[in-house]
Amino acid sequence: MNMVRHETYKEMLLLEPLDGFDEGESPVLDQHLGSCAECQAELAEWRDAAALLALAAPIAKPNPRVRSAILQSIGSQRANEISRSAAERSPLTGPALKLRPFSFSRQNLLRLAAAIAFLALIIGVFVLWRRDVILRNEVAQLSRKSNLERQQLQREREALASEQDAVALLTGADTKKSQLSGTELAKNARATLAFDRQTGRAVLVTEGLPPTPENKAYELWFIVNGQPLPGKVFSVDSSGRAIISHQVPAAARERSVFAITLEPKEGVQTPSGKVYLLSLSS
């Protein structure tokens, strides 16, 4: 069924009990009523309502002058409508249906209410989505902040553990200490390597080394019988200080030379950089 035409017929139903059709409209509506049960039922309701209104209205005789003016106005309006209807006739489609102004029927009111409810739902969903995005961003920021704080706490714990190891090794009865002096590249630098003779557990404390260049790092070496063994790679703070926990190889615990060179950041297996700190043979 063509819904546009169907709605047009439904708007015409109110005119039928009031005898308000233009010429040619009533047969068209009658043809539609013959095939539409919904419109038949609604027309019956409008007829009943019109009958009740007619019975309830008080009988009053109009003033003759008012009656004459009304009839003259109706006759003039009728003539104009007939003239417009004739002008609107088409040889292809026949008499054109005049669409009445839009009226707020029950169906239209229901559609309007549904549209308003749907719009409110869309606005509510958008507000909830925005709120969810804001909350997600806040959670992400808090998570990043928490991760940074955990990392900082872990670094502080590691630094404290290194300091505690350094104190324990430097004061231990079976600890061996070796002093490293700065070369021409770092005359004010010095370092102490303390390690347990039995386990090889060691700590290196440096002071006064130049700041670590970008993509570079200092590397500790154990030189045994002229053969360098690579040790730990590390960097220093702005004052040239570092506390490094390490493990001295068994071969280097008795007689060896310790050295610190500047190497690529990832470290190397054979010394390639210049020596910054060096110990005497022990």
Distance (Å) of CA 21 to CA 3, 29, 36, 37, 115: 21, 10, 19, 21, 32
Would the pTM count as exceeding 0.75? no
What CATH class does 172-279 carry? mainly beta
pLDDT (tens, 9 = 90+) of the chain, 282 residues, equals 455 466 776 667 666 665 555 555 667 777 777 778 888 887 777 776 666 555 555 555 556 665 676 667 666 766 666 666 666 654 544 454 454 554 556 777 777 778 888 888 888 888 889 888 899 999 999 999 999 999 989 888 877 777 777 777 777 777 888 999 999 999 999 999 999 888 889 999 999 999 999 899 999 999 999 899 999 999 999 999 998 889 999 999 888 899 999 999 999 999 999 999 999 765
Burial 45-63 (b: 16+ CB within 10 A, else e): eeeeeeeeeeeeeeeeeee
State the pLDDT at residue 36.
84
pLDDT in tens, 71-104: 676 667 666 666 666 666 545 444 544 545 545 5
State the pLDDT at residue 4.
47
